[in-house]
Structure 1
Amino acid sequence: MTTLTATTFVSLDGVVQGPGTPTEDPRGGFDLGGWLTPCYDAVMAEYTADWFSRADAFLLGRRTYEIFAGYWPSVGGSDPVAGPLNSLPKYVASRTLTRSSWQGTAFLRDDVVRAVTELKAEPGRELQVHGSGDLLRTLMAAGLVDEHRVWVFPVVLGKGQRLFPPGTPRRSLQLVEHRTTGKGVSVQVYRTARPEDQDA
């Protein structure tokens, strides 16, 4: 069995939209993109490299995939993030994309929940989701996420798409790890409770 992990950058008030750059995700008139950059430091890079080293494959939504594909193929293979991303399989949930020049890319066009269930049934270490908020919400609703790695940044945005919007199904999580970077980013690792423990 492969473990499905989800890594998400979140503001203190729960916003996940546009963390990387000002133009990353302006949907809905969101004009606060790039909010994680002031908090980036060597400790954050160390944690990121550690987690990317555990991946056997990546699962991405269309928007996140296009952002990654526009940058990471041009980065040298010795980079701890670029190395895994460029060499390992990348599964993309998209009904519109049909081809890509990024080596190792495959598209999941139909029943994403069924396709991901089948991928998880294969032997391996981690199938990693990074960002991909819309896809992640679908996976959470289907109970397919085994572990959340939530980076909570010390910034309040007041608007933008949230990780857990109204209507998100109730689910119990178990905190298994907590780290803090020098710039005040709280890194919280949660495992999804077993179905029989959800009401405990």
Structure 2
Amino acid sequence: MGKIVISSNVTLDGVVQDPDGEEGFERGGWFHQFVGGKDLEDWAARETEEALDAEALLLGRRSSEWFASRMLSRDDADVRVSRKWADRMNSIHKYVVSSTLEDHQWNNTTVFNGDAVKEISELKRKVDGEILVYGSYQLVRILIEQNLADELRLVVFPVVLGTGLRIFGETGDKKPLHLVSTRKMGDGLVFYTYEFVQG
């Protein structure tokens, strides 16, 4: 049985929007603005370990295109994209939820274009291991609302933006979580792991 793991970088007030500043959000670019080199080294090491341990990626269309453009043309000098991480991202099987995607750039990609909840439920039954979700915030909200997510991993950046798209939207009911672990990364980041309490 697969385990769906949502892994996200967030600000202290839960904003996930435009971490690299490329979307034009006026408060974007926070990923690099408020941390130092040691923070990013620890972040890259954790991200690489996480990808190596996963069996599959589950992404929305926009996140799939964003990651594909960076992984397929990575710059090895960029600490955010280590060779091991990029190689794993390129080789791992990817499942993309999209009703509009026709020509995917990445190898090992399957497109889910039907009933997303049914297809993801079947994926969980088929995959033995972690199914990692990066970005894909519309999809993340569906996973949480439909009780398909098993674990939440947050790397919290030391900044409050005050506005912007947050990881959590409105839910039909309370969603209790259980804290599994917390640790400091570098000098300014905190990494939290939670399990969703099912039933």
Q: Normalising by structure 1, what TM-score? A: 0.89
Q: Which range is displaced more, 36-45 or 113-122?
A: 36-45
Q: Which runs of 5+ in 2 are unaligned?
A: none
Matched, 1:72 2:71: yes
Matched, 1:61 2:60: yes
Tell me how far 1:14 sits from its aligned partner: 1.2
Correspondence for 1:3: 3
Correspondence for 1:45: 44
Across the aligned residues of Structure 1 and Structure 2, the Cα RMSD in angstroms comes to: 1.7
Instruction: Give the secondary-structure state (helix, strand or coil) at the position aligned to 1:10.
Output: strand
Instruction: Give the secondary-structure state (helix, strand or coil) at the position aligned to 1:41.
Output: helix
Q: Superposed, which structure 2 residues align to 1:1-200 within 5 Å?
A: 1-19=1-19, 21-23=20-22, 25-26=23-24, 30-38=25-33, 39=35, 40-75=39-74, 79-167=83-171, 169-195=173-199
Number of aligned positions between the proteins: 190
List per-residue Cα deviations over 1:83-133 (Å, max 9, x = no partner): 211111111111111122311111111111111100000141111101111
Measure, in 2, the Cα distance between the counterparts of 1:158 and 1:121: 39
Measure, in 2, the Cα distance between the counterparts of 1:124 and 1:69: 24
Percent identity for Structure 1 against Structure 2: 37
Tell me how far 1:32 sits from its aligned partner: 2.0
**Does the CA-based 8 Å contact 2:10-2:157 persist in structure 1?**
yes
Q: Which runs of 5+ in 1 are unaligned?
A: 196-200
Measure, in 2, the Cα distance between the counterparts of 1:113 and 1:167: 16
Measure, in 2, the Cα distance between the counterparts of 1:80 and 1:32: 31
The 1:83–1:168 alpha-carbon spacing in structure 2 relative to 1, beyond 3 Å, is: farther
Correspondence for 1:198: none
Q: Normalising by structure 2, what TM-score? A: 0.89
Tell me how far 1:183 sits from its aligned partner: 2.8
The 1:53–1:114 alpha-carbon spacing in structure 2 relative to 1, beyond 3 Å, is: same
Tell me how far 1:59 sits from its aligned partner: 0.4
**Does the CA-based 8 Å contact 1:52-1:81 persist in structure 2?**
yes
Tell me how far 1:168 sits from its aligned partner: 5.7
